[in-house]
């Protein structure tokens, strides 16, 4: 562990951009907090206009110089142009969850209720839509690999299968997978909620209810638990990997009495 950013409201997104760390917190205004990536000093805050009461994820794109936020209740993605400090949004038609940006600088939106991956341009033009196989229930997050395959984590409370899968380029077939029946063993997960990938395509998995972050090989073989429950206070909800600085940012949120509580933080690990 390198550092812990200040505890506050639950953290629903964390990403890095241009030497800064962006945090998305659950509150009525000033939801975006910006910190220096070296000193961890808070630099500024931004209020996202028309942001719904439930927002789910955040990612960044250096090419487009912007931040994206998925708005579950608003059924849209908010686009924040960092240099212009300007916000726009576009509809996703279905409730969005995890976000990522692919090598073409397009935005991948995972929609768990319809088991879809939607690819949008930076300005919200729908480019294509992939429907996942019937046994991929409650997909949370998708990342495209260099081989144009898709990494998908799936499985929610009550689901029979909790896995990380590598899907074919058309999203129809599972090429590799890790997981199965929910549990806490080496080959098991209990709500694998988010993914991150390093430059060598090793995969970090936020195993939410097991309170750990797992490291998998590019072919999804188990390597080790890179963050253990002893290093977290609560449950890992979101991930971001900074390949330049070899830092893993883990959003650690409190779960209390069957719901997300009022507390969250980001823990920074050297990888």
Structure confidence at residue 259 as a pLDDT band (50, 70, 90): low
Residue 55 pLDDT > 90: no
End-to-end C-alpha distance for the chain, whole angstroms: 9
Q: Where are the domains of the chain?
A: 132-231
Residue 142: predicted pLDDT:
98
Tell me how far CA of residue 219 lies from CA of 16, 33, 100, 146, in angstroms: 26, 35, 20, 13
Tell me which residue has tokens 């908010």.
78
| 3-state SS, residue 237 | strand
Show the tokens assigned to 7.
């505890």
d(CA 23, CA 11): 7
d(CA 79, CA 109): 13
Show the tokens assigned to 3.
């550092």
Q: Which CATH class is domain 132-231?
A: mainly beta
Averaged pLDDT for residues 41-65? 94
Averaged pLDDT for residues 12-24? 96
pLDDT tens digit sequence for 93-113: 999 999 999 999 999 999 999
pLDDT tens digit sequence for 127-137: 999 999 999 99
pTM of the model: 0.95
Q: Quote the Cα angle for 250-256-259, to 5°.
A: 85
Residue 54: predicted pLDDT:
85
Show the tokens assigned to 104.
């073409």
Residue 120 pLDDT > 80: yes
pLDDT tens digit sequence for 155-206: 998 999 999 999 999 999 999 999 999 999 989 999 999 999 999 999 999 9
Residue 186: predicted pLDDT:
86
Residue 20 pLDDT > 80: yes
DSSP at 142:
E
Mean pLDDT, all residues of the chain:
95
Residue 258: predicted pLDDT:
65
Task: For 27-173, list the strands marked E by DSSP.
Answer: 32-36, 42-46, 55-61, 66-71, 76-81, 86-91, 99-101, 107-111, 116-120, 126-131, 139-144, 150-154, 162-167
Per DSSP bridges, beta strands 11-17 and 86-91 are unpaired
Averaged pLDDT for residues 135-161? 96
Per DSSP bridges, beta strands 107-111 and 259-270 are unpaired
């Amino acid at each position: 562990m390198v550092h812990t950013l200040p505890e506050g409201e639950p953290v629903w997104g964390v990403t890095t951009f241009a030497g800064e760390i962006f945090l998305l917190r659950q509150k009525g205004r000033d939801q975006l907090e910006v910190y220096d990536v070296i000193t961890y000093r808070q630099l500024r805050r931004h209020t996202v206009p028309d942001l719904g009461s439930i927002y789910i994820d955040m990612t960044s794109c250096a090419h487009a110089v912007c931040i994206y936020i998925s708005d579950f209740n608003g059924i849209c993605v908010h686009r924040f142009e960092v240099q212009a400090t300007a916000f726009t949004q576009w509809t996703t038609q279905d409730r969005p969850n995890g976000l990522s940006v692919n090598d073409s600088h397009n935005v991948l939106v995972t929609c768990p209720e319809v088991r879809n991956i939607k690819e949008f341009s930076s300005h919200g033009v729908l480019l294509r839509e992939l429907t996942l196989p019937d046994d991929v229930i409650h997909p949370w997050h998708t990342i495209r690999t260099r081989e144009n395959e898709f990494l998908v984590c799936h499985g929610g409370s009550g689901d029979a299968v909790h896995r990380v899968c590598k899907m074919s380029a058309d999203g129809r077939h599972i090429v590799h997978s890790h997981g199965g029946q929910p549990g806490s063993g080496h080959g098991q997960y209990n709500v694998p909620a988010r993914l991150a990938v390093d430059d060598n395509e090793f995969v970090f998995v936020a195993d939410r209810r097991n309170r750990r972050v797992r490291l998998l090989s590019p072919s999804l073989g188990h390597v080790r638990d890179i963050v253990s429950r002893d290093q977290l206070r609560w449950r890992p909800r979101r991930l971001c990997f900074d390949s330049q600085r070899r830092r893993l940012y883990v959003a650690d949120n409190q779960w209390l009495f069957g719901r997300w509580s009022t507390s969250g933080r980001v823990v920074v690990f050297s990888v």
